[in-house]
Structure 1
Amino acid sequence: MVRPNNQVKADPPGVPARRAALRLLDAVLRRGQALESALESAGAGLAPNDRGLAHAIAAEALRRLPDLDALIDSATRQRLPDDAKARFALRIALVQALGLGTPPHAAISTVLPLVDGGPRKLVHGVFGTLMRANKGLPDQPTLPDPVAIRWHAAWGDDFIADAERAVASPPPIDLTLRDPAAAPDLEGISLLPGHLRLDARAPITGLEGFAEGGWWVQDLAASLPARLLGPGRGSAFDLCAAPGGKTLQLAAAGWEVTAVDISESRLARLNENLDRTGLKAKAIAADLLQWQPGEQADAILLDAPCSATGIFRRHPDVLHRVRPSLIAEMAALQAKLLARAASWVRPGGTLVYATCSLESAEGEAQLAAFLARNTGFVIDAIRADELPETVTPLPDGTLRTRPGMLADRGGLDGFFIARLTRLSP
């Protein structure tokens, strides 16, 4: 379906980025790859601006996929197969013209070289029909049916409406400050001490305070698990630590941090941020199912691998590639990691369990099963005064952040977080 990379050089201007966008969509929708991981291969040989454009086109197409497909189906006598190259090309042309503000003539002329023969005539004809009819995309994207059905059964009507509003555009940029008393002179709002949500997007490395290590980029919801451990009072393990935002938080709070992650390349990024901020932590590349610490810790933060459906605003590919089988696989891994992490907490110590997932199997159900097996742990209730205003814990003292929270101030990624105490014998 996709031409080899060496053909990109022969393409007219503007086409290489669209060809890369096609590869990205193919990787996500047909092969189940994550959008970010597919970018390196799909964008090989492209200039940075073309690479960025390819990513933007693919990401916006994934946000709008059900609505794009509904438009395509409304203008064809026979439904195109989901994996038809003509459908992929039309998605790319339409999302540019209707979602990204590309002039229609540029949107179609840069896409037609992606298809040959009869499909090219079909793509040109369908696109022209829809443009002449002044068709558009709805203000709120439609969630893919499997996701909508699953989330509706778990969370109800309001959740679906909030999720559709949330996926409409990329989320804001949040910064976590190394020193809450030394905020950079940047335009934004603070929703918690040591937090800044920027008003506008700009090249991160050029902003005040970056080179000096005064802050790092970290979604507000992702910063909550480490915040819940409070000021440092001994040793802490940050498990599944990379890319390192939570490690930096714990180190800045005064914990003696050991950060463990299976990915050496992601730990390299963590170490770069430690160097930039001047913070200290011990980084270890290891498989947590095999690793054993030399001693127990006073606090453990397990931000476990998960389906990542809670970060669909940033990574809309999860709406299309995450299926129940992956959720079950991740839940089984989380149970193993929780069991191991629990044994590494000192009596009287704290274990924070978190996942960036909107699936109860990776949150509420996971915790219930853990507590049933581990009677030596109890929930240490999260308090409202530890959270952004209007974000409230669940009645059992755990936290579920959801689409719709803080919607008027830029929203919040979806997380499940529980803080547990290990009882003394």
Structure 2
Amino acid sequence: MASFCLTACTDDEGKQSSGTNLTPDEHKEKLENIGLEVLGKINPADHEKLLNAIDNFARLADDGLDIERDKAIRSGVNLAKTMANICRRSNPGEMMSFANAKSDMYAAAQFAKIYTYNNGNWEATESDDRSLEFRFPVDNQDAVLRITASEEETFVDLHDENGIHYAAYIPHTATATFTLGGETLANVNVETDVNNEARTAVVNSTMNSNSYEFSALVNASKTDASADFSVVVRGETLISGTTHLTGTDMTDGDNISDIVGNDGDNLEDMFNEANAEVNINNRAIIKASCSNINAFVDLLEDLDNRYPSWEEQESQEYNDKVAAAYNKYNTAELYYTDGDNVIANLSTQSYLYEDTYNPEYNYYDVEPIITFVSDESSFSIESYFDEISFNDLINSAEDLTEAYKDYLQYLVG
């Protein structure tokens, strides 16, 4: 889906952005400042307790639980890891995993059992209600991960694969709560509405942890699918976005079975058009689209067939045509939110890779480029977003990564 990235039609009479006439170097400064503003509002210490508890849970689980054999345990541990990843990456895309019928959230919600860590051992007892619990110590406090599900659930036929029919029980509501010493550190809530006959599904998932809210709303049918997502910190939206996809029989079980049975061949036949929009801290917007996914993939496959050898696929002629295929069906644009006009376009070009030490290994490939509307100057993405120009942003991102790693010594090291 990365190649389907970002577009929209604009009104030439619309409001002009204050960044319209900036030079490429001035755009670098503006874009880096936008990134720094976002990172500056994320504090790893806000999730210290939660991540330490999850890290300790993973360590103790590996110590005395049969994760590979016990599906309930595996689901609970993997769910905790997902919660950790959502926090440390501030990535709303991680929330999309809850919309998968085979997600660990749904799997864990099927069990009613309590696992208690005591003196180096895990003791299992039956739960009085429909819940799966893991109880364990963290810094002399009692930690609990509790997963519950509503009694209302839907049996969903998924697809067939290698003679095996896959199906799942999907609860209308599933909740996971992580507490430490009675304090709620995080809460995940997933609400699902599935219609087997119409083959539609709506999944609304949220995760709240210490004034951070991560959310995703997925809506899918045979011909239309969309996803809206956001990261909100202390009431301020840092990242939000929406994606939309049209197609044919995208949720049809027989169609999916045929594709799975063919190792994913002709997957693109299900899809028509895709578009996406990402808003960064209400300062910058990226819009993207692919006008015809099926035709785009078919064109790339046709080029591979016409130029089958690796020597041909490293030629300028082949890569010029690949770049043209990307640019024919895919568009991407950068906006600043104080105006309606496009600031820059993203596209693809062929280029010669030159090996300094072994010139005989020179070859052609394709790369994304950014072209600014103000002066029509173009740069490869790699050369424009270089380490020197964006040094402060890169260092800040690395500092955040290291700070989160400190809280996940066992899982991340």
Fold shared, TM-score > 0.5 on shorter chain? no
Structure with max Cα Rg? 2
Q: Which has the higher helix share?
A: 1
Q: Which has the higher strand share?
A: 2
- TM-score scaled to structure 2, two decimals? 0.29
For CA contacts below 8 A with separation 6 or more, give which structure has more relative contact order: 2
- TM-score scaled to structure 1, two decimals? 0.29
